[in-house]
Amino acid sequence: MLTGNLYEHIKFPKANFIMKRGRIVDYKTILGKEVVVTKVKTTKNSITKIIVKQKDSKRFFNSLPSVTIDLEKALVANEINVLYIKQNH
């Protein structure tokens, strides 16, 4: 589902916060970007949260090094797609 900040399950800050930092909020710049999962957390309610950074090491909106995503809900809402899974043993 889309909200005022365009994504409901990807925790981007509000647009005015990004603009206060002198950045332009253009969601087209992040569409199709590949990301790398840097951390996985499971909450008490069994919700999986992942922290991701862009694969090319650039910042989201030239401001944010990483963002948090509610994995299951973002997948169901088609906000993200899984392209490759590498498991560490």
Q: Using an 8 Å Cβ cutoff, are 12 and 81 in contact?
A: no
Higher pLDDT residue, 75 or 25?
A: 75
pTM: 0.78
pLDDT reported for residue 64:
86
Averaged pLDDT score across all residues of the chain? 84
What lies within 8 Å, CB to CB, of 6 at 6+ separation is 12, 27
The tens digit of pLDDT for each residue in 8-51 reads 999 987 778 777 777 777 778 888 889 999 999 999 999 999 99
